[in-house]
């Protein structure tokens, strides 16, 4: 789950995959360590399966064995989950999977191509039949390449860095290529307090004002008549964040914009919506949080 701050340079991380590394982690609180490992060490088993490491628990200590990259990813996963437990939150299988995605993001290697053309790096691009968009900065390049590779990507940066437009452009490209069957766009309607049922009109009319930037990007990347047909057929779907509960989104490109205005519970709910062959892109600017005082941002917590 790559997380990219589009306002600062992104550096690649590399490690020798052939090296065998051993890491021993000891957790001070025995009760929390037991919850961390899971009943019959089921959480450790999930980490072993997803990251291809060996995780052996003895008391409140777990020993991780594997290649250097994978063991460090497993360490970060356990550190994150233990921190959740220290804060009083439970750890379920979905939390373990989410922590694994975040650990994978930290080691996602975002190395720019070495090939040069007339002294310039070959920058990543997004292409549809209507338009081709080429990355303008190294961070946009890294962002596009991450979206090409990963099923879950965070794009973080101030307004004007292209995080939302590039996410929608990438989703349009995936749809046009047949890599996904539909696009789902969502954005927290903070101005309406997420109480959309009290607003006049049908669902599209209720959420359109909040999703307008996403529509603008769609119309720029796809012919307007095709966008309209896709909307009518449900191939492009508008889905208020408050209405996402209980759904599993498979074979879809899912974009959550303005994610800094999600609560922690909303973000957790959203992250667990990702289904088979789903691609999820979450964009936001942590410096522009409009949540009520005292409510923590789900985006900040996830990062």
Within-domain flag for 125: yes
Supply the pLDDT for residue 214.
80
Pairing of strands 54-58, 182-186: unpaired
Examine the fold and report which residue of 66, 87, 106 is the final residue of a domain before the chain moves on: 106
Residues 120 and 95 in one domain: no
Within-domain flag for 284: yes
Residues 42 and 185 in one domain: no
Residues 101 and 122 in one domain: no
Examine the fold and report which residue of 106, 126, 149 is the final residue of a domain before the chain moves on: 106
Residues 227 and 289 in one domain: yes
Cα distance from N-terminal residue to C-terminal residue, the chain: 10
Examine the fold and report which residue of 106, 130, 147 is the final residue of a domain before the chain moves on: 106
Within-domain flag for 141: yes
Residues 96 and 180 in one domain: no
CA distances from 168 to 37, 188, 254 (A): 38, 16, 9
Supply the pLDDT for residue 13.
27
User: Token digits for 203?
Assistant: 């669902």
Within-domain flag for 7: no
Residues 139 and 255 in one domain: yes
Within-domain flag for 172: yes
Nearest-10 crossing angle of helices 264-271, 93-106:
90
Residue 58 CA to residue 68 CA, distance in Å, equals 22
CATH number, residue 255: 3.40.50.300
User: Token digits for 299?
Assistant: 């985006």
Supply the pLDDT for residue 235.
94
Residues 35 and 171 in one domain: no
Supply the pLDDT for residue 139.
82
User: Token digits for 118?
Assistant: 């007339």
User: Are the C-beta atoms of residues 290 and 190 closer than 8 Å to each other?
Assistant: yes
Residues 101 and 78 in one domain: yes
pTM: predicted TM-score of the whole model, two decimal places: 0.60
Supply the pLDDT for residue 11.
24
Supply the pLDDT for residue 292.
84
Cα angle for residues 225, 230, 235 (degrees, 5° grid): 165
Within-domain flag for 219: yes
User: Are the C-beta atoms of residues 262 and 134 closer than 8 Å to each other?
Assistant: no
**What phi and psi, each to the nearest 5 degrees, are found at residue 10?**
-105, 130
Q: Measured in whole angstroms, how far is the alpha carbon of residue 226 from the centre of its chain?
A: 27
What's the domain count of the chain? 2
Within-domain flag for 173: yes
Domain interval for residue 229: 116-302
CA distances from 147 to 16, 105, 142 (A): 24, 11, 9
Residue 269 CA to residue 280 CA, distance in Å, equals 13
Neighbours of 172 (CB within 10 A): 29
Residues 36 and 141 in one domain: no
Residues 250 and 146 in one domain: yes
Supply the pLDDT for residue 18.
46
> Tens-digit pLDDT profile for the chain (303 aa)?
555 555 432 222 233 344 688 889 999 899 999 999 999 999 999 999 999 999 999 999 999 999 888 888 899 889 888 888 888 888 888 888 878 877 776 554 333 343 333 344 467 889 888 888 888 877 888 889 889 888 899 998 888 888 999 999 999 999 999 999 999 998 887 544 444 454 455 555 655 666 777 888 899 999 999 999 999 999 998 777 877 777 888 899 999 998 999 988 899 888 888 888 899 999 998 888 888 888 888 888 887
CATH number, residue 39: 3.30.1370.10
Per-residue HEC secondary structure of 253-264 comes to: EEEECCHHHCEH
CA distances from 289 to 257, 274, 292 (A): 13, 24, 9
Residues 58 and 206 in one domain: no
Residues 152 and 88 in one domain: no
Within-domain flag for 55: yes
């Amino acid at each position: 789950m790559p997380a990219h701050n589009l306002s600062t340079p992104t550096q690649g991380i590399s490690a020798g995959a052939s090296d065998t590394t051993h890491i021993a982690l000891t957790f001070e609180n025995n009760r929390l360590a037991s919850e961390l490992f899971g009943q019959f060490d089921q959480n450790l088993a999930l980490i072993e399966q997803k990251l291809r490491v060996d995780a052996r628990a003895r008391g409140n200590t777990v020993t991780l064995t594997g290649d250097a990259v994978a063991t460090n990813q497993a360490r970060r996963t356990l550190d994150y989950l233990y921190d959740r437990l220290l804060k009083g939150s439970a750890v379920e299988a979905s939390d373990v999977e989410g922590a694994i995605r975040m650990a994978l993001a930290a080691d996602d290697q975002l190395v720019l191509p070495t090939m040069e053309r007339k002294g310039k790096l070959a920058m990543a691009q997004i292409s549809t039949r209507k338009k081709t968009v080429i990355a303008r900065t190294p961070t946009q390049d890294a962002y596009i390449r991450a979206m090409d590779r990963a099923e879950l990507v965070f794009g973080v940066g101030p307004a004007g860095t292209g995080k939302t437009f590039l996410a929608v452009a990438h989703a349009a490209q995936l749809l046009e290529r047949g890599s996904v069957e539909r696009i789902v766009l969502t954005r927290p309607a903070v101005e309406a307090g997420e109480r959309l049922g009290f607003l006049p009109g049908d669902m599209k009319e209720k959420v359109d004002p909040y999703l307008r930037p996403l529509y603008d990007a769609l119309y720029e990347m796809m012919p307007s008549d095709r966008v309209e047909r896709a909307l009518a057929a449900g191939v492009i779907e508008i889905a208020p964040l408050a209405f996402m509960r209980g759904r599993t989104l498979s074979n879809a490109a899912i974009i959550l914009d303005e994610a800094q205005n999600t609560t922690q519970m909303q973000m957790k709910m959203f992250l667990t919506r990702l289904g088979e062959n789903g691609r999820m892109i979450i964009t936001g600017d942590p410096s522009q949080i409009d949540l009520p005082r005292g409510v923590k941002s789900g985006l900040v917590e996830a990062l």
